[in-house]
Amino acid sequence: MPAKSRRRRSAARSPRVLRGTVFITRQVHFNAAHRLYNPTKSQAWNTNQYGLCTSPNWHGHNYVLEVTVRGEPDPETGYIVDLSELKRVLHETVVDRCDHRNLNDDVDFLRNVIPTTENLVIAFWDQIEPALPAGKLHCVRLYETPRNFAEYFGPDAPARA
């Protein structure tokens, strides 16, 4: 007669979620045209400041937007924010409103804003932050080209020397 197994059924243990502050980033892309132009200045001033970027015929970029959220992983899910929800927010607040648009004329929250990369990261923060489903917005980084980008850490960020 075979020996009886002495295995015990153990109660399911809760999986561990580790504690610590984590930074998680989602990247999205969009294409848009813009013109760098200050209407309170002369065309000569604008040309001197912005060069070819002030062309009245516009120019475009293949933008890459990176949004970083910080927080502690949720004890039940292990997420700071569900990345599919973050993607949805980024599309609703920025990508769907800016993609294949003229940033100067077609995007309501950019009207009367000179659409430099510096101004865009601030404007995008202002759109994304109130719609964020979880975590705290840490950084908005926008690549205008592979070598040119701006990042914004929010209105309360200390200036870095």
Residues designated as active site: 53, 100, 144
Residue whose C-alpha is closest to residue 106's, from 33, 52, 57, 53: 33
Binding-site residue ranges: 34, 59, 61
C-alpha R_g of the chain: 23
| 99: CB partners within 8 A, 6+ apart | 30, 31, 32
Binding-site residue ranges for Zn(2+): 34, 59, 61
Long-range contacts of 107-114 (CB under 8 A, 24+ apart): 114/36, 114/37, 114/38
Q: Which residue has the tokens 């045209």?
A: 33
